């Protein structure tokens, strides 16, 4: 049976990036049926309501095998809806947000070559968005950490290390201060670790690892970095800089029965329509989705073609040292993808 993927074009640079992803996927000869749908700040500003995701899109998501989300803008301020990504993660229990971090050949790695994977718990922490105003002066935010979710994301991290042949999981926490929340998270990681005797556990405080990733990032090569929602949101962004551009970082949000794929970066509205930003994160997120949907060979071809384009350096965007347009880089990736699969 043909697999279907709901595709959200998103805001800002989202539509042109998603167009590039679809161009490359079609060059690979994908059999996946892409179903376009709406979500994001642009849709919400026109239609209003308490969600950035319309009912029609939820219906499409419910009947799809996976979701691809282009970058979306999240309005700020009191009373505005939660983000598209958080909404989808929570509805489908996409508890593992995964960002592979790996230097591309012949690219500008500011602190040397790196290879690691960031694994982030995606359903709780401060991202539940529950805040309480106690007085005119005092507001508090609730950081929800459960042993159940901590155990699930820990097991995912150890399995990811096992799949990749990595030797260590690095749980990132602040249990010396947040004794209940970070304390229970770390305890659950250590419980799961007992089932993986060949994989080491290196606990790091959040402030220390932020420093170590700049001082000596190679000590984390071939390691899985693991943390709660906000901590890993910040640390994975720092790791993105280690490969030279967040425009190269693709990600997946994985649950037991559904998955959403997206570039790690935002919607960059100031660049919208300029045919300028790096398409790699979006294209490779799409390639990862093809793999998830059973098209491994086509996915691998897209990865190989992308590495070749970056390595050659002729058709790359400004953030990785070139002057090519978004569309030119995507065209070159699509061309090489088709050649590889001939």
Kindly report, residue by residue over 115-159, the tens digit of the pLDDT.
999 999 999 999 898 999 999 999 999 999 999 999 999 999 999
* pLDDT (0 to 100) of residue 25: 98
Q: Are residues 324 and 271 in the same domain?
A: yes
Q: Are residues 139 and 170 in the same domain?
A: yes
Q: What's the pLDDT score for residue 72?
A: 96
State CA 233 to chain mean position distance. Answer: 9
Q: What is the pLDDT of residue 249?
A: 96
- The whole-number pLDDT of residue 106 equals 83
**Residue stretches of the chain with pLDDT short of 50:** none
Residue 156 sits in a domain of what CATH number?
A: 3.40.718.10
Q: Do residue 67 and residue 94 come from a single domain?
A: yes
Same domain, 234 and 218: yes
220, 241, 262: which is the final residue of a domain? 241
Is 118 found in the same domain as 85?
no
144 and 237 inside one domain: yes
Rg over CA atoms, the chain: 20
289 three-class SS: helix
Residue ranges of the alpha helices (H) in the chain?
Answer: 14-27, 41-47, 55-62, 84-91, 147-164, 181-193, 206-215, 229-241, 280-292, 296-312, 326-340
* Residue range(s) defining the domain that contains residue 183: 109-241
Alpha carbon distance 263, 100 (integer Å)? 11
Same domain, 140 and 206: yes
Q: How far apart are CA 8 and CA 61, in angstroms?
A: 10
Domain boundary pick from 186, 208, 241: 241
Q: What is the pLDDT, as a whole number, of residue 107? A: 84
Looking at residue 109, what is its pLDDT?
86
Q: Decide: helix, strand or coil at residue 10.
A: coil
Residue 214 φ/ψ region, left for φ over 0, alpha for ψ in the -120 to 50 degree band, beta for the rest: alpha
pLDDT of residue 328: 98
> At which of 209, 241, 273 does a domain end?
241
Per the structure, the count of domains in the chain is: 2
What is the structure's pLDDT at 207? 98
Rounded to whole angstroms, the Cα distance separating 163 from 179 reads 32
Tell me, yes or no, whether 283 and 232 share the same domain: no
Bridge partners of 169? 201, 224
Residues 228 and 275 in one domain: no
Q: Are residues 97 and 116 in the same domain?
A: no
Spell 154-169 as b/e; 16+ CB within 10 A means b.
Answer: bbbbbbbbeeeebebb
**pLDDT for the residue 120:** 98
- pTM of structure: 0.94
**Three-state helix/strand/coil letters over 158-226:** HHHHHHHCCCEEEEEECCCCCCCHHHHHHHHHHHHHCCCCCCEECCEEHHHHHHHHHHCHHHHCCEEEE
* pLDDT of amino acid 292: 98
DSSP state at residue 121: E
140 in the same domain as 174: yes
């Amino acid at each position: 049976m043909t697999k279907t993927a709901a595709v959200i074009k998103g805001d800002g640079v989202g539509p042109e990036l998603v167009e590039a992803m679809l161009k490359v996927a079609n060059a690979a000869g994908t059999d996946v049926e892409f179903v376009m749908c709406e979500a994001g700040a642009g849709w919400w500003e026109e239609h209003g309501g308490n969600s950035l995701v319309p009912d029609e899109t939820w219906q499409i998501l419910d009947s799809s095998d996976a979701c691809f989300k282009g970058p979306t803008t999240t309005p700020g301020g009191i009373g505005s809806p939660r983000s598209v990504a958080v909404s989808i993660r929570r509805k489908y229990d996409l508890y593992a947000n995964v960002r592979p971090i790996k230097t591309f050949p012949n690219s500008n790695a500011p602190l040397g070559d790196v290879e690691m994977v960031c694994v982030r718990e995606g359903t709780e922490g401060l991202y539940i968005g529950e805040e309480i105003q106690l007085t005119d002066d005092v507001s508090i935010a609730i950081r929800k950490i459960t042993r159940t979710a901590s155990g699930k994301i820990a097991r995912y991290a150890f399995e990811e290390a096992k799949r990749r042949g990595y030797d260590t999981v690095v749980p990132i926490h602040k249990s010396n201060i947040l004794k209940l929340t970070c304390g229970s998270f770390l305890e659950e990681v250590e419980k799961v670790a007992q089932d993986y005797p060949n994989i080491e556990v290196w606990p790091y405080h959040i402030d220390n690892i932020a420093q170590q990733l700049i001082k000596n990032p190679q000590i984390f090569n071939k390691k899985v970095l693991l943390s709660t929602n906000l901590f890993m949101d910040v640390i994975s962004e720092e790791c993105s800089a280690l490969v030279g551009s967040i425009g190269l970082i693709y990600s997946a949000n994985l649950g037991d029965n559904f998955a959403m794929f997206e570039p790690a970066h935002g919607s960059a509205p100031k660049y919208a329509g300029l045919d300028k930003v790096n398409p790699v994160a979006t294209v490779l997120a799409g390639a990862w989705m093809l793999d998830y949907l059973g098209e491994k060979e086509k996915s691998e071809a897209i990865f190989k073609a992308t590495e070749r384009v970056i390595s050659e350096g002729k058709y790359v965007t400004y953030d990785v040292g070139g002057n090519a347009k978004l569309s030119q880089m995507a065209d070159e990736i699509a061309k090489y993808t088709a050649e590889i699969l001939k």
